[in-house]
A and B are shown apart, each in its own frame.
Chain A
Amino acid sequence: MLSCHGEIARWKREMPTGLALAGNPNVGKSSVFNRLTGMGVVTANYPGKTVEVHLATTRFKDEEIGVMDLPGTYAIGSTSEDQWVARRALLDGGPDVVCVVVDATRLERNLFLPLQLLDLGFRLVIALNLVDEAWREGLRIDARRLARLLGVPVVPTVAIRGQGLDQLVEAALAEARAAAPRRATPRYGRDVEEAVAALAERLAAADVALPWGLPPRAVALLLLEEDDETRAWARDLPAGERILADAEAAAERIAAGHDEPAPIRIARERHGLAGEIAEKVKTRVCAPSARQDRFWRLTTAPATGFPLLAAVLVGLFATLFWMGDYLSTLLTALWEAWASPGIRAAVRLALGEGAAGRSLLWGVDAGVNAALAVGIPYVLTFYLILSVLEDTGYLNAVAFLTDPFMHRLGLHGRAAIPLVAGAGCNVPAIMGTRVLATMRERVLASTLVCLMPCSARTAVIAGAVARYVGWAPAVAIYLIVAGLGFGAGLGLNRVLPGRSTGLVMEMFPFRRPSVLGMLRQTWHRFKGFVCVATPVVLAGSLALGVIYETGLVWAFTVPLRPLVEGWLGLPAVAGLTLIFAVLRKELALQLLITLAIAQYGTGADDLLRFMDRGQIFTYALVNTLYIPCIATVAVLARELGWRRALLISAFTIALALLAGGVAHRLIALMA
């Protein structure tokens, strides 16, 4: 993983002009970013953090501008991951100007962030976004007056349609180039300002280099806000003790004056100022339409919300399977018709008919085919559905309704969508756990996702159990897996150290999504998946090909015998297919039939000649439970680190073996 510091430092060095995009979540910041920039977005991570910063360039009147898209946050003062990353990227990247995208319909809350940025001494431009929506709600906002009150340029925009963005960039460039910085420092209550000024004076007199080149007032405010990083900076100074003591005394005075701690007082002052400014620039010409509000209520009111949720989930599944299946068939057919024959001929020409050629074909032909058949169609479909749910704002209603159930598992409502997504493919689902704030929640959610039968495992359950054993046992597998998953969640919640954070989430009104925006978002995510998963699948297929074509595969069955034959009661060769299914879960069944044919001759494609009903059931159960697939492990490692990825994998293997062994014995008892 690239260190963010490196990426951001390079961005800072190479870009003649740097523009950072900041804003609350869901205010259309991504629309601004997508409209401004094209392809070639670089993603930067800070080590150990899951929230990303996107870097790209845009051209405006023959000038190259670097654009940095910060994570959406309500503030930049907290220790939560998104706020920490946003702040660090801002301080490390040192943009020439920060463009804050604000929601015109919720101006008072949105102005908190720009005030905080002004406090840190950044040059700002405000994109007053969603003015069309504000207009429809009967709100008029005096952008000029807002600019005057804040002391920074304000440009009304409708980012989703690209309106006002040229003016925005123009204003940003003018602001970035202005020789003298504007005197746009917010003024808070007298006692707070006095404490800040006194502390700033001390800092200026202390003759030390201030962190990140911030002005003294900014550092003084940060110290009063009990900011951990700034305090750590002060502690390391020679005169650190004294500065910290000064800061504490000043904070104490503010606290004594207001019966609340200084950081809260300062937050209150900032909210107060934001509210006052918003009040002055807002005019309500008519009451907001109640229609939207009523529709809103339907999604969260229990009586209508739960049926609606059920319908949406069923729709999600149905679309995922139907569209995924359609795409899968289409892509496979295209590959087999157009690409496969050519590749086969080329490989045969180069390497002949021998084992080497056939091994290579496993990778470049069968491997690509596998990616086209399993990962890509379902992931693409899922991402599209996710974009729709996200952009309409329905995702929040899902989180709201499912929160109590998720809570039992140590998660909260935001984990519901990744879990559901896991039924399509675990890989995007694990990427989707990024919506969760802490590593604990992400580990919990990712483990549960791994236990969620994805479409490939469903294919095995359907193709083996439902077909040869009956539909009731097939349903039983789902129920067993669901029970084990729930139990694992309960157990892990107890075992993992720490406590889960509660749900604090803004609920958005429904918005008409932009098709273009959703497609771009889908494409962006999809690209991420293809880059991670495809190489692993190709390499794995190649390795499998080598083992199979050289005949080594039979040698591997020997050490498996005690476990597979003794404990699970399955033919050893079936154990082998389980191991190879780590590449793609549905491979288990295909390979089983292939190997069965190779071992028992043609006709063995009727599985019942080869394994009895109980064995098929056990086989599908184990296949469903143990590590999803190599692509999932790769994603787990990328998202959570190798150690956690291996632990989760080991856990699922243990669970699968346990469940399989128990199932084998119970079936034997019942027979």
Chain B
Amino acid sequence: MRGADYVVKRVLFAIGTVFVAVTLNFVLFRAVSGDAVSALRCRQCTKEFKDFQRRELGLDKSKWEQYKIYLGDLAQGDMGRSLRTEEPVTSILWEPLSNTVPMVALGTFFAMLFGITTGVIAAWRRGTAADKGSLWGGLAFYSMPPQWLGLVIVLFIAGWLGLPTSGVKSPTLGILDDPSAIEVIVDRLEHMILPALTLGLVVFGEYTLIVRSAMLETLGEDYVLTSRAKGLSNWATVWKHGFRNAMLPVITLVALSLGFIIGGAITVEYVFSYPGIGLLIVEAIDQRDYTVLQAAFLLLTLSVIFFNLLADLLYFKLDPRVTE
């Protein structure tokens, strides 16, 4: 297959997936027994308010009609209003999103850091205790429920490291004096480290495995043999010829593990009371605020689809051989 065909095919596939996700989102939320408004847990809401909500959502029209309205609104970036607070959902999503993105990015960074380190060591010291330890360690962490690992970290490590275990910023910061930008950033980072560490620990085993086998594969290639024959040092061989080529699959993995990291982020944010998309989902479930839940789910799904596409295209750019 030609390169252009490959790109077009991946893009079309991503568009198809978006369409499936959007439709699934619509079908799931309309299939609930009763309707979204009656399910709402809200004591102050009057009957008039609920009727208004139903009209607003178009629940009095036919399903097909509703689907068309839903698609139309979505195309304009309108995800409706919160059933509870009447606020537009897009503005509700904004702040949690700005908290979740850096946390998930830091988590992915931790996963890559641990995974690549252990993977390279495991491949370089193949068959030794270091190799086995890396693999088993990665596998063991991968088998832990993230929320549980979060609790264990709070219990044993947080106090020892002196890091905050809840929230996104210190309540005392900026009350007495005006904090500098650096102080604010450091404070944010401190609150981010533990949840991100939890996610990174849970996922890194996957990176270990992929990096290890990719390293073993590349170290067996002819060009590595050639570089040794040329008299290059061990370090230069591993770094320039082994490592750089072995990093290719890691690109795909970042996108692939994103789905799992995001899933884990929902429970981990709950454990650390970290006000991101995950905590928003937990609150929306608790209050049965289905428009918020729907929008948050769609946002997560779309970002995973997007990063998958990005990884496919990036991989193609780096290694045009992959057009299978």
Q: Do A and B come from one complex?
A: no
Binding site for A on B (CB under 8 A): none
Q: CB within 8 Å of B: which residues of A?
A: none
